[in-house]
C-alpha cells in the first residue's frame, strides 16, 4: 500500500492556478505579437483621403493593403498601390495611386494622353484628364511611374518623378467600406497590348 500525504494535492492545485494565470498571460502576449507581426508584414488597413483616385476610390473608402505579394513579384501596370512618397514631397502621408509604367519602359504624358514606349494607352478608368504634361521619362530597373485616376487633381509622378520599389508598401487587396462597394482587388486594370 502506498500512502500519500494530503498536502500534495493542495500544492498541485496551487500550481494549476498559477499555471493557468501564466498560460493566459502567455497566450495574450503570443496573440498580441501575432497581430502586430501580421499587421506590419502581411495586411494593413488604410483610409483613402482625397479625390485623386475618383471614381475608383472615394474620400473615406476603407481598404486593406496586401504587403506580402510584392516580396515575391513586381508590381504590374494597372495595380493600385499604397506607397511612401519620395523624399522630395513635403506630405509624408502614404499615397494611393495606380501603376502606369514599369521598369525599362519610357512614359510620356502629353495633351491628356499617356504614351508608353511611344504607344498611346487606353485608360477607361480616368475620370478627368489633365492638361499637365510630363517629359519623356525612361524608368530604370527599380522605378515605377504612378498617377491618380482623377488626373486633374492628382499629385503624382508627373510632378515628382518615378518612385522606387522600396517605397511601395503594397497593393490594394480589398475595399471594406462603403459596404455596397466591397470588392477584392478593386480598381485593378490591365493595359491591353502594353503588358
- Kindly give the confidence (pLDDT) of every residue in the chain, 195 residues in length, as a single tens digit, with 9 standing for 90 and above: 444 444 455 444 545 555 666 667 777 777 777 777 777 667 889 999 999 999 899 999 999 999 999 999 999 999 999 999 888 888 878 999 999 999 999 999 988 889 999 999 988 888 888 777 788 899 999 999 999 999 999 999 999 999 999 999 999 999 999 999 988 888 877 554 444
- pLDDT, residue 1, reads 45
Neighbours of 144 (CB within 10 A): 26
- pLDDT, residue 192, reads 46
Residue 143 has phi, psi (to 5 degrees) of: -110, 150
Among 83, 57, 90, smallest CA distance to 145 is for 83
Among 170, 16, 7, 165, smallest CA distance to 80 is for 170
- 86, 161 contact by CB (below 8 A): yes
- pLDDT, residue 90, reads 81
pTM of the model: 0.78
SS3 state at 81? strand
- 127, 149 contact by CB (below 8 A): yes
- pLDDT, residue 2, reads 46
Neighbours of 56 (CB within 10 A): 23
Catalytic residues: 52, 97
- pLDDT, residue 86, reads 85
| Cis? peptide before 178, omega within 30° of 0 | yes
Q: Which three cell numbers stand for residue 122?
A: 487606353
Please count the CA atoms within 13 angstroms of the CA of 57 that sit on its side-chain side. Answer: 34
Amino acid at each position: 500500500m502506498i500512502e500519500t500525504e494530503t498536502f500534495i494535492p493542495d500544492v498541485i492545485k496551487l500550481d494549476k492556478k498559477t499555471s493557468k494565470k501564466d498560460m493566459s498571460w502567455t497566450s495574450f502576449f503570443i496573440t498580441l505579437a501575432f497581430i502586430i507581426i501580421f499587421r506590419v508584414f502581411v495586411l494593413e488597413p488604410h483610409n483613402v483621403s482625397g479625390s485623386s483616385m475618383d471614381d475608383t476610390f472615394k474620400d473615406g473608402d476603407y481598404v486593406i493593403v496586401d504587403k506580402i505579394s510584392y516580396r515575391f513579384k513586381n508590381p504590374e501596370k494597372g495595380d493600385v498601390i499604397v506607397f511612401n512618397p519620395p523624399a522630395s514631397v513635403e506630405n509624408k502621408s502614404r499615397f494611393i495611386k495606380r501603376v502606369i509604367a514599369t521598369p525599362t519602359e519610357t512614359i510620356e504624358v502629353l495633351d491628356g494622353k499617356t504614351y508608353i514606349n511611344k504607344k498611346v494607352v487606353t485608360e477607361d478608368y480616368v475620370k478627368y484628364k489633365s492638361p499637365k504634361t510630363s517629359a519623356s521619362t525612361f524608368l530604370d530597373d527599380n522605378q515605377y511611374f504612378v498617377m491618380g485616376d482623377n488626373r486633374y487633381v492628382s499629385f503624382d509622378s508627373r510632378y515628382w518623378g518615378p518612385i522606387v520599389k522600396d517605397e511601395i508598401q503594397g497593393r490594394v487587396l480589398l475595399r471594406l467600406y462603403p459596404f455596397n462597394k466591397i470588392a477584392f482587388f478593386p480598381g485593378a486594370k490591365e493595359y491591353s497590348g502594353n503588358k
